[in-house]
Amino acid sequence: MSGAAFFDLDRTLMAGSSGLHWARAAARAGLIPRRRLYLDAWANLQFRLQGSTDETTQRVQERVSAIIAGHRTVEFARMAPTVLAGVLPRLYPRMLHVAWEHQDAGRRVYICTATTQETAELLATVLGFDGGIGTQLEVDDDGVLTGRLVGPFNYGEGKPVRMRELAAREGIDLAASWAYSDSASDLPMLRAVGHPVVVNPDAELARVAAEEGWEVLRFETLGRRLKIAAAVGAAAAVGAAARRAARRRAPRRRGARGE
């Protein structure tokens, strides 16, 4: 048996959330209102800065299930080019090289994500990975989505369940495997392997990684850029206020008649 490498998608392989790009495509197709898209864009910004939570992820999963129910799978398959056009530029080149180095060392590489199985497999194919593990959606005999899941939601405790199934099927030794993620919600995934690595970790995962001595990779820059921008803006505001105060304190110049 040989090891493998499992990569979370959002904030690990790519900046931000792949779900935002699906929302944009769905809005263009008339499946969700534009207002929902704006809310998802705001949620994506918060996600990039703070990471995900179990509560927000569960709400998203329930909302998506309600949206997709009754639609044909082909409708979503046709959105794939638009979604890829949004996702591919957001990929971290550094993480792609890490994944490919695992392959060059003889390990299989998989995306392991809460998004759909179809999305995970599509991205894995495009990136040259060996496969994808995602959330499996139920489809009826007519190719229509029911809104229900097949098996566990591939999030939290659901990820190691699917990883163990894959490992048994493909002869993978999880103790000799790697896992990469950004969120404390993926602690079950990280603890399922012998070599956990945290990427752009949220506060809770950073704390656990420090306690456990896990490897940490950091290169998400949005939060740092916003802090710098805020500091520059604050400095500019202080400088402007100081100039206004100085002008008020300056003595008035005498007029031409010696007043």
Provide the annotated active-site residues. 8, 10
> Which CA distances in Å does 192 have to 87, 118, 130, 181, 259?
27, 24, 19, 12, 85
Question: Cα 28 to the chain's mean position, in Å?
Answer: 22
Q: Is the dihedral of CA 13, 15, 16, 18 positive or negative?
A: negative
- Give the whole-angstrom CA distance, residue 92 versus residue 99: 11
Question: Rounded CA gap, 10 and 130, in Å?
Answer: 18
Torsion of CA 124, 127, 130, 135, to 10 degrees: -10
- Of 204, 166, 199, 161, nearest in space to 185 by CA: 204
Q: How many whole angstroms from its chain centre is CA 155? A: 12
Select from 61, 55, 91, 80 the least CA-distant residue to 219: 91
Return phi, psi of residue 230, to 5°: -65, -40
